[in-house]
Chain A
Amino acid sequence: MSYLVLVQNGIAQGLIIGLAALSITLVFGIARFPNAAAGDMLTFGGYAGLFAFSATHSLLATGLAAIAATALLSLLMYYAVFRRLAGRSAVSLLVASIGVAFMIRAVLGVSFGHGQLVYEIELTRPYIVGGVRVSPLDLKLALIAFVTLAAAFGVLYMTSIGRQMRAVADNSDLARVSGIRPQRVMASLWLLAGALTAIAGVMLGMKTIVAPEIGWEILLPAFAAAIFGGIGSPIGAVAAGLILGVAQELSTPLVGFTYKIAVSFAVMCAVLVFRPRGLFGKAEAVR
């Protein structure tokens, strides 16, 4: 029974990691750098959601407010920083994103203090499904995560801007000579990346606490999932996030709470050694 509880927690944790990993893998595939600010964007989403939740006590309003605020922050980051560095090396952009990450964290710390804040959620009686306790909140959060993921995949695979994003990820020069405007694609990418991290932040905040460091701590597992899933592969990032989340929780009885995060890295190292392209990695680009 206790294992089922761990799996359940693992799925919740895995959805958070998966959403963040999807944001990271999209930025990596299209803007071509590892975005270290993803974790702090997530934290920002957690705070935005917290204030919306205290004001409305509605999950829907909380999710939408967090998405709006974080997507806007993300767009601002693009116009203020990353667009100006377009064409620089991935390392320059990575370093810039680390700078942005520290700035977001500092602003949050100065504005709201370094203490822990919590979503004031009323406790509800859990459902008992086959002897396992399932909290209604967990179910709702999972539903929100699935809807967010479905919406993101819908944008990527069923809309014209999504097609353009995938084209830029394949070959940005060919995209330009196909008449695709890089700026429009980048702006859409950052809005989408922001929205994904926002929901991850709300979920993490509701499951645990809200504090300036929460995103930083999830950043490394999220990177691990992005790599494990095959960097640039959206479906891979989500699948790997779920696998890592469940693996972390299941290993807790064995390695203890403090070291469960190490499991992510053991998995990531093993992937890098034995399957460098990750679970869903693309085959070598043609020609």
Chain B
Amino acid sequence: MSILSIDDVRGGYTEVDILNGVSFNMEPGEIFTIAGTNGAGKSTLAKAIVGLLPRVSGRIAFEGEDLVPLAAEDRVQRGIGYVPQVANVFPSLSIKENLQVVAGVAKQKARIEELFATFPTLGQRAQTRAGSLSGGERQQLAFARALMPRPRLLILDEPTAALSPAKVADAFALIASLATLGVSLLMVEQRARQALAISHRGCILDGGQVALLGRAGDLLADERAAELYLGQASPNERFGQESAVL
């Protein structure tokens, strides 16, 4: 059974539809990348899945259960984690409080210790206010907060956008390692080539619709995708370096 099954999803913030019938499936353990130009509706789709979009129709099924009638806080309990594109930590809370505040976590103390072991910088600065962290540290905290309830599906909205080029490879390595631990990952990325390089499959969103859908390798090889959405690969592009960004 698909872990996530999106079927003819429409909706938006007001009466205007931003999503115009999006459909695709994700299999357990997959890394799935959503690419597309600015304003294509990528973040809006992520919000629709986690329950923050005011108006949604269609079907969004997680492990077979329709999420659409569920409130955002109930979707978390079902096993969906989310790292928003912006404002993804609680700035006036300390690092530790950002993790403690997550509701419904079994063995909370042990879980925090686990995450501090994964992100040692966070552990060393547990009492620091999140608002005073650097972009990279904040992104780590945003990951840790989303991982607190041990989600089976993690949705990442532009996880590398706030990072310096040197840290981008680390972030993609972390994302790949999460997948080996059994977490399925749905990732929105502007660095589409690098994201697809570690993904199993992906799609390209355009005007609130899926323009292309397929295996990551096929999308990277697709001339139309390359030309319209991914940017031309630079001749000496290697994984880990700053690649062509749309």
Contact = CB atoms under 8 A, between A and B. Distances in A.
Interface of A: 160, 163-164, 166-167, 169-171, 173-182, 282-283, 285-287
Given A164-B103, A286-B131, A286-B138, A179 B149 contact: yes
A286 B89 CA distance: 9
Mostly, the B contact residues are loop
B88 to A, nearest CB: 7
A32 to B, nearest CB: 15
Interface in B88-133: 88-93, 97, 100-104, 130-131
A180 to B, nearest CB: 5
Contacts, number: 80
Given A160-B100, A283-B131, A177 B52 contact: yes
Contacts of B138: 286
A138 B132 CA distance: 42
B101 to A, nearest CB: 5
A178 to B, nearest CB: 5
B90 A167 contact: yes
A174 B73 contact: no
B104 A166 contact: no
B229 interface: no
Contacts of A169: 92
Nearest to A170: B90
B240 interface: no
Contact size class for B? 20 to 34
B171 to A, nearest CB: 17
B87 interface: yes
A174 B84 contact: yes
Given A170-B90, A170-B93, A181-B103, 17 more contacts: A160-B101, A166-B90, A174-B84, A174-B87, A176-B72, A176-B73, A177-B75, A177-B82, A178-B102, A178-B148, A179-B76, A180-B101, A180-B103, A181-B73, A282-B92, A283-B131, A286-B138
A171 to B, nearest CB: 5
B86 interface: yes
B35 interface: no
B12 interface: no
Closest 5 pairs between A and B when the two form their complex, measured CB to CB = A179-B103, A176-B72, A179-B76, A170-B90, A178-B102
B169 to A, nearest CB: 23
Contacts of B102: 178-179
B87 A287 contact: yes
Contacts of B77: 179
21 contacts: A160-B100, A166-B93, A166-B97, A167-B90, A167-B101, A170-B90, A170-B91, A170-B92, A174-B90, A176-B51, A176-B52, A176-B73, A177-B50, A178-B101, A178-B102, A180-B101, A180-B103, A282-B92, A285-B87, A286-B89, A287-B87
A181 B50 CA distance: 15
A182 B91 CA distance: 19
A170 B87 CA distance: 9
Contacts of B84: 173-174, 177
Contact of A167 (B71, B72, B93, B131): B93
A286 B141 CA distance: 14
